[in-house]
Amino acid sequence: MSQPLSIPPLAAGMSNSTSTPVKTLLDRISPEGPQLISKKKLQDLVREMDPKEQLDEDVEEMLLQTADDFVNRVVTAACQLARHRKSSALEVKDVQVHLERQWNMCIPGYGSDQIRPFRKACTTEAHRQRMALILKTSKK
């Protein structure tokens, strides 16, 4: 595994928009700059799926922007989770928790034994009956 990234001091108060701390983290992740995937790599991925397929310039730009936005959101949320743990380092488990809980994505190769499953409490039959009675009386 690689070294955890340190979280800049401003990361705790980040909003959903792109902010300097997230860009700093992305620059550390991607040496070629803030863009995660190049147009050439995107074209290679498309050719791998269908050799005859070509993407329009507008579609390429939209896909590249969507990938960047997704990573920005994931890194921001993972930084917030790390801050919640009172850690100054972003670890794989922070990203993993966010991806599993918010996007229902499981990353292969990283064990999720440490992550407790997040489940809603089961409702009992008695609770359902009480709620039905409340709804019935509120309709009158």
Domain 5-139 listed as CATH 1.10.20.10: yes
Render each residue's pLDDT in the chain as its tens digit; 140 residues.
455 665 655 443 444 343 444 455 545 544 445 577 888 999 999 999 999 998 899 999 999 999 999 999 999 999 999 999 999 999 988 999 899 889 888 877 776 555 556 666 778 899 999 999 999 998 86
Tokens of 96: 């993993």
Domain ranges of the chain: 5-139
DSSP 8-class letter at 111: -
Cα separation, 119 vs 128, in Å, equals: 18
> Is-above-0.85 flag for pTM?
no
Tokens of 123: 């409702």
